[in-house]
Every structure is written in C-alpha cells, then in structure tokens.
Copies of this chain bind each other. A is one copy, B any other.
Amino acid sequence: MTAGQAPMFSFALEGTAGHARAGTLQTPHGEVPTPAFMPVGTYGTVRGLHPAEVRRAGARMILGNTYHLHLRPGEDVVRSLGGLHAFSHWDRPMLTDSGGFQVFSLEGLRTIEEEGVAFQSHIDGSYRTITPERAVEIQWALGADIAMQFDHVVPGGAPHALAREGMERSLRWLDRCKARHVALQAADDSLPRVSASPPPAATQALWPIVQGGTHSDLRRASLEGILERGPWTGIAIGGLSVGEPKPVMHAVLDELAPVLPMDVPRYLMGVGFPQDLLEGIARGVDLFDCVAPTRNGRHGSAWISTGRVNLRSSLHRLSKEPLDAECDCETCGTFSRGYLRHLFVAGEILGLRLVSIHNVRFLIRLAEQARAHVLDGTFDGWSREWLRRYQLRGES
C-alpha cells in the first residue's frame, strides 16, 4: 500500500471562510484540529520544555528535525529506543522534515548534485551525504507519523533559472522519495517497526513539497507535477519565509490557495510568527511550524495580544502583572512580569522555559481562535481586528 492510500491518514474539511479553512487531520497517533501550529522539537525535545508542558500548552502535533536527529543521536539510536515517539515521550502526532532545508542552509559546507547533497556536519566536521532515499530511510527509522520529501531549497530571492532548477529537481527527488517510501512500507515486516508506542507499527505518510521560489509559473508547475504523482495525504509549501519580502510570500500563497486540492491539509513550512499565522490561514494554510516561540522565549522576548514584550526590560522590575492578562498558559496564570524579569537578569533557566511555554501556547491558541472564527464565519473581521491591535504599539 502506498502512502497516498494509507487509511490511517485522512483530512475532513469542516468549514471555510474565504480561503481560510477549518478541518481535522487524522493520523495514527490521533487527530489534529486545523489550523494548527506545530512547535519544533529539533533534537527530540521542544527546546527547554518537558513534553507534558508542550501537551498542556495544547500542542496536537510537533515537528522533529531529521538533519539534527541524524547527527545526534543518530536514527539508529532513536529506532533502538523505540522510535521518536517513545524516545521523546510524545504520544500525539509528529512530523519530521527531510533535512533538505538544513543541508541547503550549510552554505560553503555542502555540494549539490543530482544524486543528493554532500555536506560537512556542523558538529564534528564529518563528511556525509543525504540523498532522497537516505532522507526517507532516516525518517522511516525515526518513525514520525508524517515524513517529508527531500527537496532542493533555493534562497528567497532566487532568479527564475535557479528556482526552476530547484523545483524540477525537487520533483525528480520526489519520485525517488516515493519509490523508497513505498519499498519500505512493502518490506514492512522485515524492517524494524516504526514505533513502540501505541498504535504499534503505525504506517507513515510521505508528503511532497511545492517549490518554485517566488515565481508563480514555477509554483504552479511544481504543484501540477506533485498532483500527477499523487494522491497524497498532505501537501507542503516550502521555500517561503527564507528572505523574500512578506508581500511576495503572500502573493505566492494567494496564487496557490485556489489551485491546491481542497481535501488535503496544506502545510506552510517554517512559518509561524503571529502575523504570518493569520496571513497564512487567510490564504488557506492548515499547518505551520516555527522555532520562533522557543528561540524568542530563550531571549526573554514574548508575544502578547498587543504586540511584543521584552522581559529583560527594567520596565517590568516591579510589575505584579502577568506577562499577558488574556493568556491561559501556565506561566501567565502563575508568575509576575517582575519575577520573569528577575529570572532573565539572574540568568536562571526557569525564565526561558516559562516564556517559551507562553510563546508556544500563544501561537497554538491563536490557531485555535482562528479555527473557531472560521467555523462561525467571523474569521475575516476577527483576524483584521486582531492584527490591528497587535500592531498598535511598539515593544515594551
């Protein structure tokens, strides 16, 4: 059975408001109501957080980084310890990227050929190669519910010729990814089972990635090529939020919204600042991921409904107020801004954890609110007002 036909994956569209959508993605590890934000667990942990905290923040699905997990601890170790779900104690849906974005980011340390990408590990300088087949094998060993194709990512401002080269190669690599993925599934019994956590031996889905840079003809050609190779249980949009201006990203999403199939979830890779989430949802995106909530959290930078807050600021020294009075996260219900500021000034790691919890919850709640407003038909007005309020004042 191929990934496209796997019965454990389905998507039910439950409502729309313009291009904005609300649905439910079904995976072997459970449901994901969409739109949804996926926190990123680079090394098998959403940085600084306990899986129970990620769960309590409302995360229904998280993302693991194949490039990082391949280097440390290695997919063989993860597989030996029961797969990524059991290893990291996360029993809800999980997706792994293919490592494509990371290896293409290793400017000067990697060589791109048709066969794959040769690169030097950023950790120990060792030489390694990732091919489409290897990317699929690594992800199979990691055992997430959803694996991504290995793709050729080009920079944000890439000219047409380069963007075309990346797009076309990504399609050829998709063929190779799919062939290897089908073979792994067919050989299922002779291979180690994917995950020791329930349900055992879950079948993994493979999702393709629309490439083509900022060029609408290439994006459409990429999508056509992908659909010819389908069916798929989900389709990702890659190569955005990689340096291009926001209006250009929006234009690409506007182009794709009406031509993407309605009945599969759409995943906008690596995107997840608050405004981007709402702009993406308005353009039909169902799934998002981004490291910003935890990366910003580590630096004491928090999102709240009226903008950004820098918790290192002396403004908060004597503040008894919660970080965000409108937030329902564990941090906002418990600690004062004054205490959070103290933790950052004193270099106490509890601080980055508490702000990371808030930021993760903030994005997840924003997606939850968007879903509710799509379902009751008020998304447009709500979203406009939300963005107006968020952008009203500067950082404090």
Residues of A within 8 A of B (CB): 43-45, 47-50, 68, 72-73, 77, 80-82, 87-89, 317-318, 320, 334-336, 338-339, 341-343, 345-346, 348-350, 352-354
Contact A335 B48 (CB under 8 A): no
**A78 nearest in chain B by CB position:** B342
Taking a contact as CB atoms closer than 8 A, the residue among B48, B49, B73, B82 that contacts A346 in the complex is B73
> Cβ of A343: which chain B residues have Cβ within 8 Å of it?
43-45
Shortest Cβ gap from A358 to chain B (Å): 13
Q: Which of A43, A336, A346 has the most CB of B within 10 A?
A: A346
Q: Known interface pairs A82-B320, A334-B89. Does A350 touch B50 (Cβ–Cβ under 8 Å)? A: yes
Shortest Cβ gap from A77 to chain B (Å): 6
Shortest Cβ gap from A18 to chain B (Å): 40
Contact B77 A353 (CB under 8 A): no
Complex copy number for this chain: 2
**A336 nearest in chain B by CB position:** B81
Contact A87 B336 (CB under 8 A): yes
Contact A72 B335 (CB under 8 A): no
Q: Which of A45, A336, A353 has the most CB of B within 10 A?
A: A45
> Cβ of A348: which chain B residues have Cβ within 8 Å of it?
43-45, 47
> Cβ of A318: which chain B residues have Cβ within 8 Å of it?
77, 80-81
Contact B349 A48 (CB under 8 A): yes
Shortest Cβ gap from A297 to chain B (Å): 12
Taking a contact as CB atoms closer than 8 A, the residue among B47, B73, B80, B350 that contacts A49 in the complex is B350
- If over half of A's interface residues share one DSSP class (helix, strand or loop), that class is named, otherwise mixed; here it is loop
> Cβ of A349: which chain B residues have Cβ within 8 Å of it?
47-48, 349, 352-353
> Cβ of A80: which chain B residues have Cβ within 8 Å of it?
318, 338
Cα distance A68–B347 when bound, in Å? 12
Q: Known interface pairs A77-B317, A81-B320. Does A43 touch B346 (Cβ–Cβ under 8 Å)? A: yes
Taking a contact as CB atoms closer than 8 A, the residue among B47, B73, B320, B335 that contacts A342 in the complex is B73
> Cβ of A49: which chain B residues have Cβ within 8 Å of it?
350
Taking a contact as CB atoms closer than 8 A, the residue among B44, B48, B345, B353 that contacts A339 in the complex is B44
Cα distance A47–B349 when bound, in Å? 7
* 18 other A-B residue contacts (CB within 8 Å) besides A43-B342, A48-B350: A43-B346, A44-B339, A44-B342, A44-B346, A45-B350, A47-B348, A47-B349, A47-B350, A48-B349, A72-B345, A72-B346, A73-B317, A73-B342, A80-B318, A81-B338, A87-B336, A87-B342, A349-B352
A-B contact pairs, 12 of them (CB 8 A): A43-B342, A73-B317, A73-B338, A73-B341, A73-B342, A77-B338, A80-B318, A80-B338, A81-B336, A81-B339, A87-B336, A349-B349
Q: Known interface pairs A317-B77, A320-B82. Does A72 touch B342 (Cβ–Cβ under 8 Å)? A: yes
Cα distance A369–B91 when bound, in Å? 34
Q: Which are the 3 A-B pairs with shortest beta-carbon distances?
A: A73-B342, A43-B346, A45-B350
Taking a contact as CB atoms closer than 8 A, the residue among B68, B89, B334 that contacts A335 in the complex is B89
Cα distance A361–B353 when bound, in Å? 21
> Cβ of A87: which chain B residues have Cβ within 8 Å of it?
336, 338-339, 342
Cα distance A346–B47 when bound, in Å? 11
> Cβ of A336: which chain B residues have Cβ within 8 Å of it?
81, 87
Cα distance A343–B48 when bound, in Å? 11
Shortest Cβ gap from A307 to chain B (Å): 24
> Cβ of A89: which chain B residues have Cβ within 8 Å of it?
334-335, 339
**A337 nearest in chain B by CB position:** B81
